[in-house]
Amino acid sequence: KRQIERMFKKVAQAEKLAALGEMATSLAHELKNPLGIIRSSAQYLSSHGQNDETRLELLEYIIAEVDNLESVIGNMLKLARFKSPELSQIRMCRELTALLDRWTNSGNHNKKVDIHLECPDSLPEIRADFRQLQQVFLNCITNAEEMMPDGGNITIIIDNGNDGMINIRIMDTGPGIADQDIENAFKKFFTTKEKGMGIGLPVCRQIISAHNGTISIQNRSTGGLCVSIHLPCSPLLAEPEMDTRHKTPEKETRLG
């Protein structure tokens, strides 16, 4: 028994060190370029002869890269210091409508992408932490818009599920992702983007799992990607579901 306990501790420690090494490597890679830009901009500013326009442009570069660094570190902290959801009674349709209104009027939204929300009046209220859930929605929407730089459609459909659940599907008309990447999509630090740490979807899964829900992705037969989220109306009464690869049949939806 003692031998098994020692072996288990060694394996657990090795896994922690491996995860730490992977995180350090990813973090170093993400920090290297912004720090290089900040350094070169600062060096240029320290020399003489720049006009006000050049100084302003270099300062904007520095501010933008500092914001980028804060975003990287913030995402790491979200993954490492996850807080349990603070549940309250919410109306999903109303909250999501307000969120989409703020997003489409922000400077981060790709104006070439149209977003449609379909939500029935009969949808029940649920207990959830919408501040956490909005991270999930914005991450999915941002990913979809990045995959459609020339424009497209995002359709969000919410409906009643079985056994006190609600179903949320976020569908786009983008190119989708390679089939071999679907199984790895929720792994930490896995990414197909040139710029990205592969933290967004793991954080989404962490949030949905904390609500005793499930999240999965699949390519649509009509093209594009579908993110399927299943949330219980009362998370504390729901059985936790660990299999995030669960898929629900996709209904045919024509996008306007």
The per-residue pLDDT for range 52-68, each reduced to its tens digit, is 777 788 888 788 778 76
Long-range interactions of 29-34: CB distance < 8 A, separation 24+:
30/72, 30/197, 31/69, 31/72, 34/65, 34/66, 34/68, 34/69, 34/72
Would you place residue 112 in the very low, low, confident or very high pLDDT band (cuts 50, 70, 90)? very high
User: How many whole angstroms separate alpha carbon 105 and alpha carbon 182?
Assistant: 31
If you average pLDDT over each of 65-69, 138-142, 249-253, which comes out highest? 138-142
pLDDT of 221 reads 85
**Do the strands 113-118 and 152-160 form a parallel or antiparallel pair, or are they unpaired?**
parallel
Would you place residue 177 in the very low, low, confident or very high pLDDT band (cuts 50, 70, 90)? confident
User: Under a CB-based contact definition with an 8 Å cutoff, are residues 120 and 158 in contact?
Assistant: yes
pLDDT of 100 reads 93
pLDDT of 205 reads 85
- CA angle, corner 176, sides to 253 and 195, nearest 5? 135
Length of the chain in terms of residues written: 256
Which among 87, 128, 109, 104 is positioned nearest to 213, based on CA atoms? 128
**Tokens of residue 94, six digits:** 């109303």
Question: Which amino acid appears at position 10 of this protein?
Answer: K
Which residue would you say has higher pLDDT here, 189 or 20?
Answer: 20
Percentage above 90 pLDDT, the chain: 26
Which residue would you say has higher pLDDT here, 130 or 191?
Answer: 130
Average pLDDT over residues 206-227: 89
pLDDT of 114 reads 96
* Residue whose tokens read 């941002």: 142
**pLDDT of residue 23 exceeding 90:** no
pLDDT of 253 reads 33
* Residue whose tokens read 């999501």: 96
**pLDDT of residue 249 exceeding 70:** no
pLDDT of 242 reads 46
Single pTM value for the model: 0.63
Please give the mean pLDDT across all residues of the chain.
77
Which among 121, 112, 118, 111 is positioned nearest to 97, based on CA atoms? 118
Would you place residue 75 in the very low, low, confident or very high pLDDT band (cuts 50, 70, 90)? low
Query: How is residue 149 annotated by DSSP?
Result: T
Q: Could you give the 3-state DSSP secondary structure of residue 23? A: helix
